[in-house]
Structure formats: structure tokens, C-alpha cells
Amino acid sequence: MNGSTAALPDEMKCFICRSKGEYGIGSRPVPDVGEGEVLVRVLAVGICAGDAKCYAGAARYWGDDRTPCYVEPPMIQGHEFVGEVIKLGQGAGEMYGLSIGDNATSENIVPCWNCQQCLQGRYHLCEGERSHPHVVFNSVLNFFRCSPSCVWLASDMSRLALRESAFAEYMKFPKGAINYKVPKSIPAWQAAFIEPLACSVHAVELGSVQFRDTVVIAGCGPLGLGMVAAAKLKNPTCVIALDLYDWKLEVAKKCGADVVLNPSHCDVVEKVRSLTREQGCDAYIEATGHPQSVKQG
């Protein structure tokens, strides 16, 4: 189905990053859609730690003497989102299995579909070609991120095109995006968690967790808790969750952790060794973002 359900306004409100620490409400034209494109009314959008770090002026976003700047203000951020489909470009409904009124989300990376990685099915490693740069929703977490869920590093920014994203009333999914219909039974505030949960699942997949492994997951924030739940589904012998906050460890238990440890209360390295007959763990997944946690692993 193509078309839309109602007339759209000319302008939309949005939350704009203008510079380090300078964010504010503004307005932009409501995007129009062309062939293969989808327009959604944003229902919910999460705030990532990367968004907070960009606001604070972290060098990995704004650059320093070692890191190039890739933030291009003024821009609209927001990459953990769900929206209601309100307009479909020609062929978009058939292409993505979407209809007007559906709830939908989209993967952060819109691959170029022309490079060797894309042609071999590894679109998450898209290299992009200069004539076909791949697109990334303006999600300030995707580059230079110290996370096991990150598998791509932008070394040549000329192969990248940033697209404004979900901190706005309306958002466009470009042609070639990887879009998904979201069941209406999932509340929008929960559906916004699809993207970080996908990162968690991907991290566990990269960790090659096997049957009867002992798995340690350091950090019980939203990503770490998703990793606990995903690792538990691999049927390991034991999932051990680490965090400095006891209340987070209680949530980790509900997500499937068999053992929870607080590094401020015990020597977690020695504790894990004692639990595994001095063998240590089979997989360690770092989800805190702190260098000490990497060393601990």
C-alpha cells in the first residue's frame, strides 16, 4: 500500500544538536518520501549513553589531536526508535511488508548494497563505495565505540552519509533501509528498546557462547541486562553478572543471572576462579565501557 492517511504539516518540532552542550527545540520541514522510502511519526525514542557523551563533548565525537570530528551540527540525533507508518513511497509497502498505520523500526546502518561485504551478505561490515556511501541514522554511538557489539569502524568518513534521525516528530527511512514491522502488542516505550537489545544479542553471538560455558557479563545497564538474557538462552552452565550497584544485580537475577557479584564487595576474579575450579570463565563480555573492566576481563 502506498500513500498516506492524512495531510501532513509543513513543519515539525525536533530536538537539535547545535554544538557541544548546546541542544534545543527547533523546527524542520517534514520530510517527503520518494520511491522506496518510508515516513513514520515517531512514537518513542531512547537516549543512548553515546547521545549523552556527544552532548558532554567527548573527543570520540567532536575530535581532538588524534581523532577526527564526524559530528555535523546542526543535526537531529536519536537511533533507538519506533514510529507509526504514515506515508509510503512508491513500492515501499511491498518492499518492506509495511502498510499505513503499522508500527515500524529500522536498523541504524543503511548499507550501500554495492561493496564486497554487502554482496556477500555481511552488510553490518559495509565498507561503502565512494559512489555509493552507506547511510547511518545520526546515531552518535556507532563510531569509535568500545563495545563488543560494535563490529565496524569508520576509517574513511567519505564513505559515510549521516541522516537525521528520531528526536523529531517525523522521521524518514531511506530506500535500502532494513525495516521491520513492530507488533502493536508491544508498547512504544518498550519497542524503542529493540535496537539496544539487538546490540546485546549480537554481542553474545560474537562471544560464541556455547552449551555448558561459564559466562561473565560485566555491567548490568540496559545493554548488559540484554546480554544476560541472551546468554541464558544459550544454555550455559552458569551466567555470572557483575555490577557496582546491588539493585542492578537484583534485576540481573530476573534476567537470568545465576550468580551476581559486586566488585566493590569482593575480588570478582578470585571468586570466578573459585566457582570454576580455577579455570576462569569461557566467555567474558564487557558492557560497562570502563577500562578497568577490560583489564579485569
Report the candidate in 30, 64, 288 with the shortest Cα–Cα distance to residue 168. Answer: 30
Which band of pLDDT confidence, cut at 50, 70 and 90, is reported for residue 67?
A: confident
Which band of pLDDT confidence, cut at 50, 70 and 90, is reported for residue 149?
A: very low
Mean pLDDT for the chain overall: 87
Is residue 138 predicted with pLDDT exceeding 80?
Answer: no
Is residue 287 predicted with pLDDT exceeding 90?
Answer: yes
36 contacts 176 by C-beta, under 8 angstroms: yes
259 contacts 238 by C-beta, under 8 angstroms: yes
**CATH 3.90.180.10 domain extents, the chain:** 3-192
166 contacts 194 by C-beta, under 8 angstroms: no
Cell 558532554: give the residue.
56
Which band of pLDDT confidence, cut at 50, 70 and 90, is reported for residue 10?
A: very high
Cell 557462547: give the residue.
209
Give, to the nearest 10 degrees, the angle between helix 246-255 and helix 222-232.
Answer: 30
The fourth-level CATH superfamily of domain 3-192 is Medium-chain alcohol dehydrogenases, catalytic domain (3.90.180.10)
102 contacts 93 by C-beta, under 8 angstroms: no
Three-state DSSP state, 277:
coil
**Most confident listed range (60-74, 79-93, 108-122):** 79-93
AA identity, residue 229: A
Helix, strand, coil tally for the chain in percent (to 5): 25, 25, 45
Is residue 11 predicted with pLDDT exceeding 60?
Answer: yes
**CATH 3.40.50.720 domain extents, the chain:** 199-296
153 contacts 68 by C-beta, under 8 angstroms: no
How many Cα atoms within 13 Å fall on the side-chain side of residue 235? 1
Q: Is the dihedral of CA 214, 219, 46, 121 positive or negative?
A: negative
How many Cα atoms within 13 Å fall on the side-chain side of residue 185? 1
Give the whole-angstrom CA distance, residue 245 versus residue 52: 21
Mean pLDDT on 214-226: 97
Span of 67-76, 132-141, 144-153, 246-255 with lowest mean pLDDT? 144-153
Three-state DSSP state, 236:
coil
Q: Tens of pLDDT along 88-106?
A: 999 999 999 999 999 999 9
Q: Is 122 exposed, middle or buried (0-12, 13-18, 19+ CB in 10 A)?
A: middle
**pLDDT at 140 (0 to 100):** 43
Span of 25-34, 125-134, 176-185, 287-296 with lowest mean pLDDT? 125-134
Mean pLDDT on 197-213: 94
* CATH topology for the 199-296 domain: Rossmann fold (3.40.50)
